[in-house]
Amino acid sequence: MLRKIAGACAAATLVTASACAPADAPVDARAHVADTTTTTADSTGIILFLGTSLTAGYGIGAEFAYPALIQQKLDSLDYPLRVVNAGLSGETSAGGLRRIDWSLQQPIEVLVLELGANDGLRGLPISSLRRNLREIIQRTRKRYPDAGIVIAGMEAPPNLGGPYTTEFRNVFGDIAEEFDADLIPFLLEGIAAVPELNQDDGIHPNIEGQRRVAANVWKVLHPVIQRQLANSPVPAATR
C-alpha cells in the first residue's frame, strides 16, 4: 500500500515522477530527444524511452536519469544498442502521441513507454489515456513490426477515489496484454514515498532513486533486449 508523503502536492503525487512538473507547452519535439550514449550509431539499434519528467531526469539532469543508467548497463555488456531519451517534463499521453512520429524517424529495437502519470495527476479521462497509449503502440508497430514494447505501469493519485485509481492502474496491464507487450508493473516500486530516494519536493527521484528506477526497468527490459538481439539483424557484440 502506498504511503502518504509530506510536502506540496503530497495528496496528488504519491506515485508520479512527473507530478508538479511544468505543464505541456508547444514544443519542438526534436529539442527533447537526447542521445545519451557515446557509442557509434552506425552499428547500433535504438532503445527509445518516451516519457515524462522521470525519464527526462527532472531536477538532476538526463545524465543521472534511468535511461542513461540503462545505457551504462548496455555498454558494460557490449550490447550494440543506443539509448535515446525522449522524456519531457509535464508530458501527458496526448503529448507523447503528438511526438511519436518524430521520435520514430530512426529505426528502433525497443520502445519503453513511460506515460500516464500526468494524466492521472490531472484527473484526465482514462478512456483518453487508453486511446493515446494504444495509438502510440499501433504507430510504432506499423512502422517497426518487430520492435519490442515495454510499458511502464503507473498509479493515479489516491485523492481521485478508488474507482478511478483502480481503472487507471488496470490500463497498463490491459494494454500490455492486448499488444503482447512487456509490463513493468509499477515503475516507482520501492521509490515512491521513500524520502531518502526522492528530491526535496518529495516526488521526483534523486540520483539514488533513479538507480532504483533503473533496476526496476532493467529487470523487465533485459529479457526483451536479449530476445530482440537474438532475432535482429543488428550485429551482436561479444557478450
Instruction: Tell me the pLDDT tens digit for each residue of 140-172.
Output: 999 999 999 999 999 998 999 999 999 999 999
| Active-site entry in 53, 89, 93, 103 | 53
pTM of the complete model = 0.83
Helices 162-178 and 126-143: crossing angle in degrees, nearest 10, is 10
Asked if residue 6 has pLDDT above 50, the reply is no
pLDDT at position 13 is: 32
Q: How far is the C-alpha of 228 from the C-alpha of 147, rounded, in Å?
A: 8
- Catalytic residue status for 53: yes
pLDDT at position 234 is: 53
Asked if residue 233 has pLDDT above 80, the reply is no
Helices (H), 104-190: 117-121, 126-143, 162-178
- Catalytic residue status for 204: yes
pLDDT at position 26 is: 35
Give the domain ranges of the chain: 30-230
The partner residues of 48 in beta bridges, in order of sequence, read 84, 111
Task: Burial-class residue 231 by CB neighbours within 10 Å (0-12, 13-18, 19+).
Answer: exposed
- Catalytic residue status for 103: no
pLDDT at position 1 is: 24
30-230 CATH: 3.40.50.1110
Helix (H) or strand (E) holding 211: helix 207-230
- The DSSP call for residue 4 is P
Instruction: Tell me the pLDDT tens digit for each residue of 67-99.
Output: 999 999 999 999 999 999 999 999 999 999 999
Asked if residue 4 has pLDDT above 80, the reply is no
Asked if residue 14 has pLDDT above 50, the reply is no
Distances (CA, A) of 206 to 22, 44, 71, 195: 18, 30, 18, 10
